[in-house]
Copies of this chain bind each other. A is one copy, B any other.
Amino acid sequence: MNKAIFYHAGCPVCVEAEQRFVTALNPSDYQVEEVNLGNEKGRISEAEKLGVTSVPALVIGGTPFHINFGASINDLK
Interface size range of chain A in the complex? 20 to 34
The reply to whether the CB of A49 lies closer than 8 angstroms to some CB of chain B is no
Report how far A69 CA is from B69 CA in the complex, Å.
11
* B65 near A68: Cβ-Cβ < 8 Å: yes
* B63 near A20: Cβ-Cβ < 8 Å: yes
List B contacts of A16 (CB < 8 A): 63
Given contacts A4-B24, A21-B60, A65-B68, 18 further A-B contacts (CB under 8 A): A16-B63, A17-B65, A20-B61, A20-B65, A21-B58, A21-B65, A24-B25, A24-B29, A24-B30, A24-B60, A25-B25, A25-B26, A26-B26, A26-B27, A65-B67, A66-B67, A66-B69, A67-B67
